[in-house]
Homo-oligomer: A and B are copies of this chain.
C-alpha cells in the first residue's frame, strides 16, 4: 500500500466550517478528531455489513471517547425512514446522550443522510462527522449538510441542513465496493466535471477504466472540491446550488417510477444527464459537447432503462421537491462548465421524453 496522500479541504458555511480529509489512507486523519470526542459520549451509526468489512476503522475514535454507543441500520434506502430515526433517537436518549455528545456516521449515502438528520434533530442538534464508505457518499451525499429521510409520498421529503464538523473520506474503503456501486458514484463525478470543472472532466475521460477498477483517490478529491465551491456559494440551496441538480430532475422521477428498484441512484442520474443533454441541445448546446458527454456516459456500460409509463413520469416530475410554486426549472448545460437554469413548458418536455424513452442515447 502506498503511503497516505490526503487532500485537505475546508468548507465554510453559515453554521461554521466543515473540515474534509480525502484520499487513500485518509482514515489516519481520525487522529485529528480525538479532541473533538475526548471526554464525550460518541454514537457510531453504521450497518452490520460495514461492521463486518471495516469494523475496526473507527476504533481510534471509540478509544478517545468517554463512552461509545453503537447504532445500527440495515444497508439500503429502506433505512431512511421516520421509524428508524425515531428508534435511533430513543436509543440515544436512553443511553444518556447529551447536547455535547457526538455522532459519527460510517456508511454510504443512506447512512450519511439518515445520520445527519438524526444528529440535526437530536436535542435540537448535536455535532457530527461523516465517514463515508461509498463513492457516491464521498463525492456527494456526505458533503454539504443536506440530510433527510424518505416518506411513502416522496424521497428526501423530510430533513434539514445540518453540516458535519468533519468529513473523512478514505478512498481505500472503496476497494470493497461492487463495480455497479463505483459506476453509480462516478456518474455524480461526471455531473460535476461536465458542469463545473473541466480539468476533472479530462481526468475522468482519460482514466475511466482505471477509475472503474477503483483507483479513485484523485477524482474523489476533485469532485469534493467542486461540490464544496458550490455549497460555499449557496449553503441553503437558495438558487445557485441547484446546479448540483443537473441530471437529477428526471433522475429522481426515474427512481420513483421504478419504485427505487432496478436502477441505482447514479444510474438513474446518468439517464437524467442524458435527458438534460437532449434538452440542452434544443436550447443551443453545441452537438460536439453533447456527444462528448454522452460517449463518456456510454463507457459506463449502464444497465438498460426499463420500460416506463410516460404519464407516471410526467406526474412525478411535477411533484419534484425542488419545484417551486412557479413551476419546474431544469438545470441544463449552455456549454461545458456553464450550467443554466431553464424553465420549459410541459409540452416541450413531453415530446422530448417520448423520444428519450424510445432510445436514450440517440438524438443527443
Q: A90-B153, A93-B153, A325-B66 known; A160 and B125 CB under 8 Å?
A: yes
Within 8 A of B (CB), among A220-259: 236-237
Q: Which residues of B contact A39 (CB under 8 A)?
A: 325
Q: Interface digits, A321-361 against B, CB 8 Å rule (1 contact, 0 not)?
A: 11111100000000000000000000000000000000000
Chain B residue, CB-CB nearest to A91 = B153
Are B66 and A122 touching (Cβ within 8 A)?
no
**Chain B contacts of A90 at CB under 8 A?**
151-153
Residue from A99, A120, A124, A151 having most chain B Cβ neighbours under 10 A: A124
Residue of B nearest to A100 (CB): B324
Please name all residues of chain B whose beta carbon is closer than 8 Å to the beta carbon of A146 when the two chains form the complex: 124
- A82 sits at the interface (CB 8 A): yes
Asked whether, in the complex, the Cβ of B160 is within 8 Å of the Cβ of A121, the reply is yes
Whether A41 sits at the interface, judged by CB under 8 Å, is yes
Partner among B85, B101, B120, B324 whose Cβ is within 8 Å of the Cβ of A325: B101
> Once the chains are docked, how many angstroms separate the CA of A151 from the CA of B97?
14
Q: Which residue of B lies closest to A322 (CB)?
A: B99
* A89, CB-defined interface residue at 8 Å: yes
A3 at the binding interface (Cβ < 8 Å)? no
Q: How far is the CB of A328 from chain B (nearest CB, A)?
A: 10
In the bound assembly, the distance between CA atoms of A247 and B219 in angstroms comes to 55
How far apart are the CA atoms of A41 and B323 in the complex, in Å? Answer: 13
Q: Chain B nearest CB: distance from A318 CB in Å?
A: 8
B86 near A82: Cβ-Cβ < 8 Å: yes
Q: How far apart are the CA atoms of A125 and B157 in the complex, in Å?
A: 10
A41, B99: Cα distance in complex, Å: 35
A40 within 8 A of B: yes
Assess the B161–A319 pair: CB atoms within 8 A: no
Q: Is there a chain B Cβ closer than 8 Å to A154's Cβ?
A: yes
In the complex, the answer to whether A154 meets B124 with C-beta atoms within 8 Å is no
A86, A120, A325: most-surrounded residue (chain B CB, <10 A): A325
> Shortest beta-carbon distance, A109 to chain B, in Å?
16
Q: Verify if A218 is at the interface (C-beta below 8 Å from B).
A: no
Known: A90-B151, A121-B158. 10 other contacts (CB 8 A): A39-B325, A86-B158, A89-B157, A93-B151, A93-B153, A98-B324, A117-B121, A123-B157, A124-B159, A160-B160
